[in-house]
Structure 1
């Protein structure tokens, strides 16, 4: 580290000479670059000298050291100022700490004290400079990687909605411009594939990665002249286009983009496009619409742009009763109740078949909606059998897939997902009930260990806790707690000389009278009788 630059300020020449002579400045890695007898004169020239450290007397004519320090720190916030003060000025000097003075030294001046103070100040400066260097490196890395952070954040927002305020703040941090007056958003999801995806080699997989890179580059170049259009890659490697520009006719642009990519890259292109949404909090909804539209490629065929709004107009609405059935299917699936989920889905399918769906197209759309939902839930929950849903989704476009076959595939998807949900719930509940049992045992001495108290500890209802405990132990909460306390009481009676009231405190029954009644009821013996019985048994052994 370079030598630190020091300025001395004192109206007494002798003090300045003593400071020069008594301190080994070379050893400290410092040099005195100038000195002043007047604080006011020093303040006029201090920025020109750009010192690291200033040593100043507190009491000087014209401008004292406190006033100088305050104005100097305003001019040069990083400079370290050390005040020289006498005992009678000590309380006054303490005020200097509040304005940012680094340290103070009491007169009479002692060389070792000054050297220690200067060394401590040097360490502080080095630490700050190292911190600044690291901060600048980190800032440079952040600046360099801003596009990656931006893309990662956009990918997150596609799946988890945020408020418009949070989105705007994040985009400002990532130095991304949003439309100054409009929060209208529209999303497109672009998927590419080669003609033959079967029996692919590693080289072909590598070529497909190159295909995606080229498509992304061409897509960004295509929209280069349009402001407020953002890009990212979703979890499936698909290109996501987010338009925040109401003047961009996204549908027309996507048709041109599709033709250009097919011509340039010689591959299949499918694009799903959402309806227009107002508010950045609707980005997640828009993405879901775009994905849902994209899933209809199995009906529309390859190389097409599918608009969610057009899709909504052609699918046909479910009746009120059918909407209710569809919601019930989702509830049963989420709860892991396979039999009810499949039964309800079957009733929905039969109802849809009766209510004008027999023209085929609309019934196939219902199949796509159900299986797509299953697929999306599998993705969201990170289940391993996601491809199985996709495989069944493709069945909708096969000639051999009649309504009976589609119903079978649909029920298979419902069954698979419900089983996965049940397994996940079982694993989660198994872990939770184990934690609950450990908590109860560890807190057995708490006389207020009620079911409500334990339930609150784990953020669940008392009723749910009771059901979990019954399923795991076959006992109610009261029965389980009482047996656990009885077991602990017996262990203490057999292994310790604790008195009855002490045992009661250990198992959470602080009333000795109630303890006696309770123990007699549980064992048929009083505490003393049980202890004698145990001692007799030991003697026999």
Structure 2
């Protein structure tokens, strides 16, 4: 190792010369790279020569040793300072300690004492350098810092401007499995702890644990179903999800809605999740992140504690001949829900935009391919056969062959969209009938449960209570609670006729733990109490 560089500062030339001549600098591990007679001159030479150690007197003209030490500490904090002085005064020593001076010795300088101090300083410098070079320590430090480094990278990623190669390299380095997806979705997660919760709940006694608990619940729900990463930004907690061929954005939104309900029920925390636009490249995450945060801004309109999709709240801007998320949403909505006039109108708008554009043919192809991609994904989501919908096998090149000529685009896309709409209607009708059939069976099997609510049956069926209630009434002509009441009272009548059980026992058997409420519901439907009903029917009065 090369010797360390040292500078001597003293206003007496004889003192400087004596010290330089008497000390065996090489043996001590140093070389003298210069000397100065005052602090100002020393600072100029320090800037030029960059010494490792400065050995200085205190009393000097223009700038004394302590003032110089203060300047060194501010500008060159790694330089070690040794002060020697002929004044054994406590105040000097005290100030020197504050300036992080490593040694304070008295004149006249003893050769043995100074040599020992220099060797001690050399040893400390060697250890510092060794520690800084120690790969194991650096690796341990890196691992400890990795969560913060990952978060920093992810925040840079969602702000955009990174190259694709750099993104892939960092994703691999930080073991973040979100690359290679069909598209990506960003959700912003906003927490609003309920001030009315029972403070005896341990989680709410340590409110700093709430975000951690919510994050754990989100990770548990998504694990195994989606590839994702959750991290903190300067605004909200951010969820980045990779949408692959075997899962959908629609399914993700449904799952996020379930997460909002569970956090409210289990953690007593209101969580609102804003879902932004999707994007097809990890280099373009800036707008999805921005729109996810914008979605949260609609809490004042929609209320908190649920999922807010930006596509439901506002249309997106568009660029020339780019099949953007607003157009995608319009096409999906038209194909899903019709009517046929709407489908034709949306297709006309999409194709007219392409016809009006003055761009390279490759952009036409990319535009049409984006439309086809949306339609094929929609077909897969509804289990529609690609070959039947598109008139070809599942091959993008064969499909593109159908729309090579501009005049073929409108009739072909319209035909495909209408076929898909009809197929979805049939699939939806069959699905609805199956769901209602399953719901009725679930009610028959569980009507004894006093807690058999809409929410409970919907968890079993994996759908939202609002949609289930609407669909159930449409298909059965009854509200869910009315149907459940009929089932329970029908069974109650059977028990009244077939057994001698007391009214409170029958009430419990059919899902009414409160006898008085059971009698109230029974009388409201049949006009008499359960006891009168039994007496009248057994005596033949009815």
Tell me if TM exceeds 0.5. no
- State the TM-score, normalized to the length of structure 1: 0.37
- State the TM-score, normalized to the length of structure 2: 0.37
